[in-house]
Amino acid sequence: MTAILWYWPSIPGRGEFVRLALAAGRIAWHDSARDLGAEALMADMARDRATPPFAPPYLEIDGLTIAQTGAILAYLGEVHGLAPAEPAGRWFAHQLQLTIADLVAEAHDVHHPVGVRLYYEDQIAEAKRAAQGFREERIPKFLGYFEQVLERTGTGWLTGDRWSYADLSLFHLVQGLHYAFPLRMTAIEGDYPRVIALGHAVATLPSLVDYLASDRRIGFNEDGIFRHYPELDAA
């Protein structure tokens, strides 16, 4: 049965973590709002539901409606085999995903430190201050952690001897950081060879190659989470 994904149609955003998992797991999905538009998404959000979402993305699958990226991926991991089956690996994949989500949220807040309701142009000064700490401390702290995890597994993957949704998400996180902070990422990526190698391995997964080359994969842009504002980047 085809899963139904609801997410904003013009940005990768948090929906992209779900799209990557669906594509890599060869789970057919209908990307509803890309066909029907953002208004259809908002109308669907307002529908009466047993388990209403607070915000997109949400996924209708197996008779359930699940919102929150981390919960959707945990479900796909557990029920559709996109994470280790044994408990330690399954919970570790989820823990890693929520850690990735923390840095994703911080990457967003760099360009909107004062609030989501204000335009970037109204908080550039604050964004510049926030970006410095993000570039110099937060990116290295998180990437260093994932590098250590990969050093420990020694398999090239975060949770065992094959990929899980957490690997896909780390790939996308690094892609987003490269898009938003190319000077900084180019300067430091040599410190995280295993993280970079994981990205290449994900990008060449047979189940993902077609997806990544297709127009189902939405490019990064300045309406999304990862935005390239040159004034926020530095080596």
Catalog residues that contact its own copies under the rule CB under 8 A: 48, 50-55, 64, 66-68, 70-71, 74-75, 87-88, 91-92, 94-95, 98-99, 102, 105, 109, 113-118, 123, 126, 129-130, 132-134, 137, 142, 145, 148-149, 152
In the complex with its own copies, the residue whose CB is nearer, 208 or 227, is: 227
Residue 82 CA to residue 75 CA, distance in Å, equals: 9
In the complex with its own copies, the residue whose CB is nearer, 66 or 168, is: 66
For residue 213, the minimal CB distance to its own copies (Å) is 32
For residue 85, the minimal CB distance to its own copies (Å) is 14
For residue 219, the minimal CB distance to its own copies (Å) is 26
In the complex with its own copies, the residue whose CB is nearer, 2 or 132, is: 132
For residue 46, the minimal CB distance to its own copies (Å) is 11
For residue 101, the minimal CB distance to its own copies (Å) is 8
In the complex with its own copies, the residue whose CB is nearer, 81 or 133, is: 133
In the complex with its own copies, the residue whose CB is nearer, 79 or 209, is: 79
In the complex with its own copies, the residue whose CB is nearer, 108 or 208, is: 108
Measured CA to CA in angstroms, residue 87 lies from 27, 74, 94 at distances of 23, 12, 11
For residue 33, the minimal CB distance to its own copies (Å) is 19
Residue 36 CA to residue 40 CA, distance in Å, equals: 6
Over the Cα atoms of the chain, what is R_g? 18
